[in-house]
Every structure is written in structure tokens, then in C-alpha cells.
Amino acid sequence: MKLKVIMILFFLFILSGCSKEVKEVQIETIIDENAHYKVSINYPKTGYEKVDKEIYDYIDDSYQSFLKKQSTNKALDTLEELNIDYTYFENNDIISITLFKVQNNEQEMKTYNYMLKNIESFSIENITSQDMVLKKANTILFKRFGNTIDINLVEKNLETPLFSIDQENLYLYYPPKTFSNTYSDFIIIDIPLEELDITFEKIQKTSIEVYENQINTEKVNSIIDTNSKVIALTFDDGPSGYTEEIISILKENDAVATFFLLGNKVTTYQEVLKKSIEHGNELGNHTYNHKWLTKLSDGEIKKQIEDTQTIIKDTLGYTPKIFRPSYGSINKRVRNDIDLKVVLWNIDTMDWKYKSVDKIIDRAVRNASDESIILMHETYERTKDALPKIISILKEKGFTFVTISELEEVRNLRKLNG
């Protein structure tokens, strides 16, 4: 049940995320796990201070209270989980965001709807007839759920939904048990915008794209055809005993990848890293020893990054231009401490969690699309074993493999060419 709802939301995000005309948003990620708990949080950073603060406060609250609960619950021998995911939509008039939290088996949703002209939040009745919306919701509700819902509860609770909007629909969200004591998921009702008299100018699509630090385009790799689909394989936490095989597999298949390295492992594997550079792979900075950056002081953060830059420069004569935070742990403060371009991912193979090679292959290729960044770790044998198949499937789908910097070049060229 839990999974189903997450997948629905994920799909909504993909629908809005795929369209090139929708503004790209920066995604913040927190991954934190140990033997007792797993935390995985993704949330958008919009660039509108007020909106970002509200979202951040909720995320921080959720995370801190989860951690607090863990420290008081230490005796328990169960694995506790906190997951937060989001949907995001922005056009010329509004911004509409949902956060969906699953803590163990409990679900919670938050929605953020703002007019962009003044960054004030709006309600359904600000944009259309609430009565009409509720009438439609009522009809859809009974059509979909029939007699599994309680008519008295519907009368009582229908009027106060959480809601969000994208270019297609108005979505209404009702918490578990709103309409039935037995139904334990959020109910999502989508009403096509064309059935509603929405009073924005129109739900216009925008074509703003946001990139953090532009990488300069002087050195354009002419081999990459910007008309073909590109994809970036990335490997974290290395180098390791598998690196040599991984770079051989890449070379045999005419592919390149980007490796986010830990500074403390670099000297041990310097020969294989030199070879990796010669093969055209890119190296990035992944901190010195995989610390949880948001918990460090500014000085400690800078040291994590600079020590890694220095050791890579000194042993390999190579200067990384990109950085990926360990655990994806990053916030505004950490970002301010970093001069390198911060690179996250949009496809997570979760190879640290899944033991099956087939599962890793499937997760890598299933949602692969143009300009995707795939996250893997070079510390697992199963990931290395999955690699040849991942490459061959993606090749079959018409992808060209690029490094992160090449990906940026392609993006910039595409922007220049409209």
C-alpha cells in the first residue's frame, strides 16, 4: 500500500519533470543510514526564499524529530525509516509543491501553493469555484471507491483537501481514513484543468532552466553529437578494488563515466586512477572520508574538500571541477563552503541496498532519459557485475555516454542552439 502511493507521486513528478518546458528545480537530498535507521529525503529548492524556508523548516523538523526518536528508542531492535519525496510544478503564475512523508508506516502530506507575483499562498477558491471542484471530487470519489467509503465521512470531510496543480490537473489529497476507517492510504483525486475555470492567465508553460554554476564551454568535445541522447554514469565512494575492472569494462564498450572519489583512498589506487583519466573518465571530489557534511563546521567542511583536491592534484596531476556530497548531504551553508560545481543525480540504482545484479540493472535503465545522471557505487562487486548489461541496454536505447562536464557542455550547447 505504502509503495503504491509513493509510486503514484513519483509518476506525477516524472510527468512534470520530463517536459522540457517545465522549469528545472534544484533538488536537495539527505541520505542517512546506520544499523538502526534509514533516512532518505528529497526536496526541492525553488529559489524563492519564503517558500524554501517553509519547506526547509518542515524537512528539518521531520528529520530532527525522527533522529530524536531514534536516540530514545535505542533499545528497539527494529529498522526505522523516514522517507520524504516531492512533486514540483512552476509556471509563470504559480508554484505548486507537495511533500510526501512516510515514517515507518505513517504517511503525511504537505502542500505549498504560491502566487509568484507576490509569493502569497492561495486556496482553491482563489482560483476557481470551490463548489464546482467539490462536486467533481464527490463524483470521482464514488466512481472510484464506491461503497468502500462512508457517505457521512465524505459529507463531513470533503471540503478541506490539500491540493496541488500541474499543467494537466488539479489534485486533491485526502489523508488515510478520511472517508473510510479501513482505507489506509492517501486518496488522490485528479481533476483535469480543462474541466475547471481556472482564473490564471492560462496555465502557461515556462522555459526557464536553472543551472547553478555554469561550466565554461570553451573546450567543446566535438565528438559528442548533441542531437543524440546523452547519459552520465557516476560511481561514488571509490577508488576500490573494483575500479580497475570497471574502467576496463567502460573502455571495452567505448563508454566513459565520472568517479566521485574519497581523498583518503586516492594514493593506494593512483596507478589505476591515472589509467582512468587516460581513458577519458572524469574524476570528482566526494570528500576526504565520507563525513556527514551538514553536521560539520564550515572549517571542517572546507578541509574535507580541500584535502581531497590537494591529494588528487598531487598524486595524479589532475584537478577535479565537480563535487558530490557524501550521503547527498547538503544544505545552503555547505553549498556556500564549496567552490566546485555540486552534482547530484536523478536516477538512483540503490546498489547499496539491492543485492541482486538484475535489480541494479533494472533500476539503472528503467527511467533512463536524455541527460540523466545515474548514481552507482564502485565499492560493490554486484555493481561492477551489472555494468556490462547496463551499458549494452542503454546503448541499445540510443544513449551516448558522457562525463558530467561533457553533459554540461551538451546542455549549454543545446541551450545556445535553442
| Residue for grid cell 505549498 | 112
Which three cell numbers mark 267? Answer: 594514493
- Considering the candidates 52, 85, 166, 377, report the single residue annotated as catalytic: 377
Peptide linkage before 161 cis (omega within 30 of 0): no
Minimum distance, C-beta of residue 240 to Zn ion, in the bound complex (Å)? 12
Instruction: Among 85, 90, 166, 236, indicate the residue that binds Zn ion (CB under 5 A).
Output: 236
Q: Which span sits near Zn ion by CB under 5 A: 1-9, 105-113, 236-244, 335-343?
A: 236-244
Residue 236 among the catalytic residues:
yes
By beta-carbon distance, which residue lies closest to Zn ion? 236
Q: Is 30 helix (H, G, I), strand (E, B) or coil?
A: strand
Q: Which of 237, 282, 406, 408 binds Zn ion (CB under 5 A)?
A: 237
Contact pattern from residue 325 through residue 364 relative to Zn ion, giving x for each residue in contact according to CB under 5 A and a dash for the rest: -x--------------------------------------
Which SS3 state, helix, strand or coil, does residue 156 take?
A: helix
Q: Which residues contact 120 (CB under 8 A, 6 or more apart)?
A: 114
Q: Which of these ranges, 34-42, 220-228, 235-243, 264-272, lies near Zn ion under the rule CB under 5 A?
A: 235-243
Nearest distance, CB of residue 248 and Zn ion, angstroms? 23
Question: What residues numbered 299-328 form the site for Zn ion, per CB under 5 A?
Answer: 326
Q: Which is nearer to Zn ion, 176 or 328 (CB)?
A: 328
Residue of 85, 166, 236, 351 with catalytic role? 236
Residue 287's φ and ψ, nearest 5 degrees, are 80, 170
- Three-state secondary structure along 180-248? CCCCCCCEEEEEEHHHCCCCCCCCCCCCCCCCCCCCCCCCCCCCCCCCCEEEEEEEEEECCCCHHHHHH
Q: Is 279 a catalytic residue?
A: no
Residues sharing a CB contact under 8 Å with residue 144, sequence separation 6 or more, in sequence order: 189
Shortest reach from residue 290's CB to Zn ion, in Å? 6
CB nearer to Zn ion: pick between 19 and 289:
289
Q: Beta-carbon neighbour count of residue 206 at 10 Å?
A: 13
Beta carbon nearer to Zn ion, 171 or 260: 260
Residues binding Zn ion: number (CB under 5 A) = 3
Shortest distance (Å) from residue 288 CB to Zn ion = 12
* Cβ 50 to Zn ion shortest distance, Å: 32
The DSSP annotation for 110-149 comes to: EEEEEETTTTEE--HHHHS-HHHHHHHHHHHHHHHHGGGS
Nearer to Zn ion by Cβ, of 281 and 326: the residue is: 326
Neighbours of 300 (CB within 10 A): 12
Q: Which residues contact 413 (CB under 8 A, 6 or more apart)?
A: 217, 220, 226
What one-letter code names the amino acid at 379? T
CB of 60 to Zn ion, least distance (A): 22
**Residue (150 or 307) nearer to Zn ion, CB:** 307
Residue 93 touching Zn ion (CB under 5 A): no
Cell 570528482 sits at which residue? 284
Considering beta carbons, is residue 166 or 236 the nearer one to Zn ion?
236
> Which residues have a catalytic role annotated?
236, 377
List of residues contacting Zn ion (CB under 5 A) = 236-237, 326
